[in-house]
Structure 1
Amino acid sequence: MKVIFDIGHPAHVHLFKHLARLLMEHGHEVLFTARDKEFELQLLEAEGFRYINFGKHYRSLPGKLWGLLRYDLKMLLVGLRFKPDLFISHGTPYAAHAAFLLGAKNLAIEDTGNIEQVILYRPFTDAILTPAVLPKDLGPKQIRYNSYHEIAYLHPEFFTPDPGIRQWLGVGDAEEYAVLRFISWNATHDVGHRGMSAEDKVRLVKQLSKRMRVFITSERGVAEELKPYCLRMPPDKFHHVLHYASLVVSEGTTTAVEAGILGTPCVYVSTFVDPNCQEMEQFGLVFNTTESSKVFELVDKVLAEDRQVYRNRSQTFLATKDNATRFYFDFINSRYAQNGQKHTQPSWQPVS
């Protein structure tokens, strides 16, 4: 079987990388396609995957409309040469449209349910896999499963933390540090939402830096006095940095969930209420607030607990979830097996 993975965000490389390797190990041929948006291409290079770059990502509305036509055509041309049996993406319309025109199947594995994207890909899609925690009803093609996207690449079967990251960061073996993640608020699902105020960001860094090292990763510029704390790192090192942190404060949902899965306590600050973060709060891993000023109280609460408590909570949480990558792999083998052959006893089970 030939499979095209279409990448629309750096997180999608992480989401699909272990699935792609499992497919390759079982004799399937894999090709990635991507737009040059953030650091998708760097991640694909670091992972050693074969990929095709469709060019720069468009950010304006007219650019996005032009991009829909341009990338549709590029995907179709790639498909004509590669002749895929299956397209897999986080619900990109380009993969769905090309699959329809080429007579291939399209599988969407997504966890946002942004309706403006769903209406573009759903008519041309065979199945939509979503975490059970996603409250949105995406129609009869939706199949729910008991896991998160982030578990697909941070499950202990696939992720081993590198203790050498401390040396790379320049922190001692017992030295504590915090990671602060600020986002750009440019994504479609971020419109109308907010996180920490500029004043509270400065105040938080000043307070934390009295207790530990502070590293900032931001999608956009920060105040001049915060620039010395900004961390520039190869994107493939980020999860190792998260794992050994004593604390994460994040405006972004993905980083918050990643931290929780790794057993690193996180304060998630955003007016965007995320179901994953809400569920993880029940396990004492992610602490949610919509108010910038409440962050300080939650940080004190988190740091008052012993660090190992959060590692134990993470293990408890993971025991309640499926290994997402294994679920995807078994689903694909069962549904899209060559020559109509099906697994007689597939291990994947949807959530009713």
Structure 2
Amino acid sequence: MRVIVTVECADHVRFFRHAIRTLEADDHDVCVFARERPAVLEALERFEIPHVGLGGTGDRLGEPARSQLEYETRLLKHARRLEPDVLSAVNASAVAHVASLVGARSVVFSDTDRTTLLGRLTRPLVDTVCVPRRVETESTAGVIRHRSYHELAYLHPNRFTPDRSLRADLTPDAEPGDRLVLTTLASWEDDEPSKTLEFVERLEREGATVLIAAETPLPEPLERRRRSLDAHRVHDALACADLVVTERSTTAVESAVLGTPTVYVSDCERRATHQLEDEFELVFNVRGRNARAEAFATAVTALEEPPSTWQRRRERLLSETCDMTTVIVNAIAGASQPPSTDAEPIPDATHPR
């Protein structure tokens, strides 16, 4: 079987990375096409995934429509030449359009209820949509529901073992028993530095070592707490921390599935973070006008728990979910047969039915 996979951001590269290798090991021909964004190309090179760039980042004002048209036109040209059986992507309209024009089947993975106008117009063309149990979809295609998170495609224990020696590099002066808090600033970088400093210093007065993961320099005295992490070490850092405070939903889910308690500070809701709080108590969702104060109180409470608490909760999470890469492989490999609408979850050896 010949498969085309498209990736539009670095997260998509990580999502498909192990599935591509597994499909190739099973003698399927996998061709990867990418938007030529620096982070995407860097990830593809780092994981040594052969690929073809399709240009068109669509990041500039007024560019998205033209960029999307160019992107899909180039993908269609390659698809007509390759004659694929399946095209697959994450939340991408291009594969549905192109698959319908070349007689292939489309397999789209989604983990969100939020859909763009283009996505809503495209969904009727999709043959198979794979979504977690918690996500609702209006798709008229075959719907496959699974027990997993997209982040478990690359952070499931079958796929990732963290390098915990990084902790000593991050905190060389730490004493035994010290607690490490890793925070990403996101919009806080544009906030008053004094408010961010107050938040950090309050945690430090509780005995925590606070490090700020940020790519750009910060005002002093925040700068001395900043760490610029290489992309391939971010997940090691999340696993090494005793607590993560973040405004990024993907980071929140990543740290949680690694067993690190996470305070997610954002007004942008994501079903995954709510499920990780309601069912597994690994994420604490904080929002609203008093978010910063609530985040501090929540962080202090979480730091009082012994590490065994979070290990137990992660073990339960892993026992009730499955390796997302297996879901991806089964969905793509089985795409030659149209699934029934709202099909049962894909069987997975790591989560027997």
What range is the shorter-chain TM-score in? 0.7 to 0.9
- Matched with 1:330 is 330
Say if 2:247 is the partner of 1:267. no
Q: How does 1:14-163 map to 2 (within 5 A)?
A: 14-37=14-37, 39-55=39-55, 57-60=57-60, 62-116=62-116, 117-163=118-164
Question: What is the Cα-based RMSD across aligned positions, in Å?
Answer: 2.8
AA aligned opposite 2:120: I
- Matched with 1:286 is 283
Say if 2:245 is the partner of 1:249. yes
Measured after TM superposition, the shift of residue 157 of structure 1 is 1.0
Measured after TM superposition, the shift of residue 318 of structure 1 is 1.4
Measured after TM superposition, the shift of residue 225 of structure 1 is 4.4
Q: How does 1:6-17 map to 2 (within 5 A)?
A: 6-17=6-17
1:184 and 1:220 in contact (8 A); partners too: no
Measured after TM superposition, the shift of residue 242 of structure 1 is 0.7
- 1:244-294 residue CA offsets vs partner (Å, 9 max, x unmatched): 111100111111111111110100011122211111113221111102321
Q: Which has the higher mean CA deviation after the structures are superposed, 256-265 or 120-129?
A: 120-129
- Matched with 2:231 is 235
1:196 and 1:270 in contact (8 A); partners too: no
- Matched with 1:182 is 185
- 1:63-106 residue CA offsets vs partner (Å, 9 max, x unmatched): 11111111111212222343322111102122222222222111
2:112 and 2:270 in contact (8 A); partners too: no
Say if 2:201 is the partner of 1:201. no
Shift of the 205–293 alpha-carbon distance from structure 1 to 2, 3 Å rule, reads same
Measured after TM superposition, the shift of residue 159 of structure 1 is 1.1
Which ranges in structure 2 are unaligned for 5 or more consecutive residues? Answer: 338-345
AA aligned opposite 2:328: Y
Alpha-carbon distance in 2 for matches of 1:271, 1:231: 26
Measured after TM superposition, the shift of residue 230 of structure 1 is 3.3
Alpha-carbon distance in 2 for matches of 1:135, 1:196: 35
2:252 and 2:283 in contact (8 A); partners too: yes
Q: How does 1:299-310 map to 2 (within 5 A)?
A: 299-310=299-310
Measured after TM superposition, the shift of residue 330 of structure 1 is 2.1
AA aligned opposite 1:206: E
2:214 and 2:228 in contact (8 A); partners too: no
1:127 and 1:141 in contact (8 A); partners too: yes
- Matched with 2:210 is 214
Partner secondary structure for residue 36 of structure 1: coil
Q: Which has the higher mean CA deviation after the structures are superposed, 3-12 or 160-169?
A: 160-169
Shift of the 286–87 alpha-carbon distance from structure 1 to 2, 3 Å rule, reads same
AA aligned opposite 1:321: T
Shift of the 264–76 alpha-carbon distance from structure 1 to 2, 3 Å rule, reads same
AA aligned opposite 1:245: A
AA aligned opposite 1:29: D
AA aligned opposite 2:164: P
1:5 and 1:32 in contact (8 A); partners too: yes
2:213 and 2:228 in contact (8 A); partners too: yes
1:107 and 1:126 in contact (8 A); partners too: yes
Q: Which has the higher mean CA deviation after the structures are superposed, 111-120 or 238-247?
A: 111-120
2:148 and 2:321 in contact (8 A); partners too: yes
Alpha-carbon distance in 2 for matches of 1:28, 1:153: 21
Which ranges in structure 1 are unaligned for 5 or more consecutive residues? Answer: 186-194, 338-345
- 1:30-55 residue CA offsets vs partner (Å, 9 max, x unmatched): 22222233512111111110012233
User: What TM-score results when the alignment is normalised by the length of structure 1?
Assistant: 0.85
How many pairs does the alignment contain? Answer: 333
Partner secondary structure for residue 215 of structure 1: strand
